[in-house]
Amino acid sequence: MTRGDYALALELYDKEFKRHPDKDLIKVEAWLHLRRFEEARSALADAQHRKEELSAPQSHRTDLAVATWLCGKRQLAIEILKTECDAILRGKTGYLNSSFGTEEGAYLFYFGAATKNVGVRRHACAYLEKLGRKRFFMGSPWPPRLHDYFRNRLSDVGMQKLIGRIREERSRRFVVFNRTPEEVDAARALTQAQDAAKMDFWQAIRLHAREGKRAARPHYKRVCDAPPTLLLSDEWHLARAEMEAQ
């Protein structure tokens, strides 16, 4: 998996493990890279169903929405992601990465841009605005003011300055959590590459909404050109799907 030999990885997983729903989740990333979207969607849907049956706080809805979108089931993907956004605002999901729900809003905005659905884009912006006022136990949503950026109240330069300030704050923490100067430099370089890739994705979907897909394609391409290990794979898969679509 780590070297990108996804077909071999699937073969080895099947030899190592008996068929089991939890083990199928391990295969999702490989299925997505191999464009076997329906298999990825099915595994995620089964996993989400089990979580809901157990009333577990964790959720697979975000990944399920992306896989569903890649299968071409766009309206269903939108509804799944709206459900997850609502759960995040109500504190009903414990599955949050370091963005604390911001990425869900960005993906929903992208869904609205790609379907030319202004209502979905507005829903995404309203969600991000509410999220920006919410505080979580471990931190606050990152990046802040993404709703302003999508509403054209914040320029590209303003957004990049905001990210730069946040990066400086994170850099101070690297000195504490990493032991050597080399580890500190590596951590800083990784976050800078991640931030750049995310900024390209946000620029792409904002341009997609305002000016259409053609204007957004250079930014989608830059996301695709970045190594997928640098960022959440959902963004990479969505950008690749846009580049491959006619």
pTM over 0.75: yes
Q: What is the pLDDT of residues 186-236, one digit of tens each?
A: 777 888 888 888 999 999 999 999 999 999 999 999 998 887 665 557 999
Chain-wide mean pLDDT for the chain? 88
Region label for 20, one of left (φ > 0), alpha (ψ between -120 and 50) or beta (otherwise): beta
User: Going by C-beta distance under 8 Å and a sequence separation of 6 or more, which residues neighbour residue 68?
Assistant: 41, 76, 77, 80
Q: What DSSP letter does each residue of 43-76 carry, written as one string?
A: HHHHHHHHHHHTT-S---HHHHHHHHHHTT-HHH
pLDDT confidence of residue 206: 98
pLDDT confidence of residue 98: 75
Rounded (10°) angle between helices 74-89 and 61-70: 170
Q: What is the pLDDT of residues 80-118, one digit of tens each?
A: 999 999 999 998 886 677 788 999 999 999 999 999 999
The tokens describing 25, both together, are 């989740």
- The domain 1-94: what is its CATH number? 1.25.40
The Cα–Cα gap between 108 and 129 comes to 13
